[in-house]
Structure 1
């Protein structure tokens, strides 16, 4: 089946370039139209954050994205993580804003939940750690590290790794940095970096929206009319 398709496409291309026949040109433009139509119907996240997002964009699949983060960290961990050991859990913390490490967000909590799910699916015991006084995160030079006093972190004495992550965003792009840290010595055993377009759904998680007149600008959504009347 694949071979027939390959020959057919080569034939169309050869006809279009060499013979210039009307029929071959017709086939070419029909194929191009069908491809454009399929792209329009299904959408593509590569258009997100651009003026074409509302026409050709697609929702960023945060589940798939989170699973990719967990899979890559497991693959790159050195020393490797040990699955199927309930007494050696992986602690998963909330992904936080790099400019305000003490503030959580809907986006960060969603990533935490999906990443934790993926670790469990791969056979690791997981404990979720919400950002609280028991978890000390020290800001400095754009990095996130755990406090030296790990006794404050419940379960850290038996954990084989702690997942931490930060994000920063511009008007069009979000940058995400994730790490697995050894709780004994704070050594980084795996790290990875990603970027996402600031599409409309992600903007909404932060209470932002894109200005219609300037596609590269974002602002807070307008307050409800009744709020402005009674406040």
Structure 2
């Protein structure tokens, strides 16, 4: 009797082993599909918006929140400055200001070009810097009714930007917008750039 049951037990053991092998193969197959799915989602992920896109969206947001903002023309644009040191800027601060001014001009804001005029102080490595004590003097010199100004702060993974259009007569904020930009190699390069105009 033992000799007959032994092959039967062996057969059952083989059947169990075969089932376990099939289950293991199925689990490996599922894991492979999940990994492939994750790779495809990374490849198909939307690219993050760049500075130009974010600045144009911010300008559109300003105008949408206050359609009368364009009545405070002409506007001059100040270089965006570091929140940690309002007397320091970078290539990022200069190009951010330029792009935002351009975007606001597309929405009907008259923008006065100040780099063409000698009456505005331009520090070689910083650009036009707007400090509160200078607003009245600069607006009078350029016959400006508003000023675009902004600040930026560097975090670990993102660069945070805050922009606003301020009426020169009473320092009233007419429009504001904030956005964050991924702190990648391109952004870091713009932050390190301290060259003049």
TM-score, normalisation: structure 1: 0.55
Unpaired runs of at least 5, structure 2: 1-28, 123-127
Q: Which runs of 5+ in 1 are unaligned?
A: 1-25, 46-59, 139-143, 209-231
Per the alignment, residue 15 of structure 1 pairs with none
- Whether the aligned pair in 2 keeps the contact of 1:173 and 1:196 (CA below 8 Å) is yes
Alignment partner of 1:72 out of 61, 83, 108:
61
Deviation digits for residues 178-206 of structure 1 (CA, Å, limit 9, x no counterpart): 11101111111222222233222111222
By percentage of residues, which structure has more strand?
A: 1
State the distance in 1 between where 2:35 and 2:147 align: 49
**Aligned residue in 2 for 1:172:** 157
Which protein shows a greater Rg?
Answer: 2
Whether 2:140 is the aligned partner of 1:137: answer: no
Match of 1:110 among 95, 99, 110: 95
Aligned-residue offset at 1:32: 8.1
Counterparts of 2:141 and 2:36 in 1: how far apart (Å)? 58
Given that residues 165 and 176 in structure 2 are in contact (C-alpha distance below 8 angstroms), is that contact kept between their aligned partners in structure 1? Answer: yes
Q: Aligned residue for 2:174?
A: 189
Find out whether 1:91 has 2:91 as its counterpart: no
Larger helix percent: 2
Q: 1: CA distance between counterparts of 2:129 and 2:170?
A: 15
Aligned pair count reads 159
State how 1:1-231 maps to structure 2 within 5 Å. Answer: 33=36, 36-40=39-43, 44-45=47-48, 60-77=49-66, 80-82=68-70, 88-129=73-114, 133=121, 137-138=130-131, 147-150=135-138, 153-156=141-144, 159=145, 161-207=146-192
* Greater relative contact order, per chain length (Cα 8 Å cut-off, separation 6+): 2
Aligned-residue RMSD, C-alpha: 3.5
- Alpha carbons 1:167, 1:174 under 8 Å: kept: yes
Contact 1:174 1:197 in 2 (8 A): yes
